[in-house]
Amino acid sequence: MTAMEDLCRLRYEQFGAAGRASAIAVVPLDEMAGRYCSGSLDPLASTSTIH
């Protein structure tokens, strides 16, 4: 379990979320699964082009 805790700690630091636990909303697993299934978490791509 220590390796998983280390990995989670590293990811929180990399994404600038370390120390911000109170600002992270808890989402139940079944609700998150529903979001994935519905497509609401699909990445959005910009249709504009960069020149």
Two structure tokens written together for 12: 């929180």
* Distance, CA of 45 to CA of 43 (rounded, Å): 7
Domain boundaries, the chain: 2-38
The confidence score (pLDDT) of residue 49 equals 64
* Distance, CA of 31 to CA of 25 (rounded, Å): 12
The confidence score (pLDDT) of residue 48 equals 67
8-state DSSP, 36 = H
Cβ pair 22, 28 in contact under 8 A: no
Which residue in this structure is represented by tokens 């989402």? 27
* Distance, CA of 42 to CA of 20 (rounded, Å): 25
The confidence score (pLDDT) of residue 44 equals 83
Whether this prediction's pTM lies above 0.75 is answered by: no
**1-51 per-position pLDDT tens digit:** 799 999 999 999 999 999 998 998 999 999 999 999 999 988 887 776 665
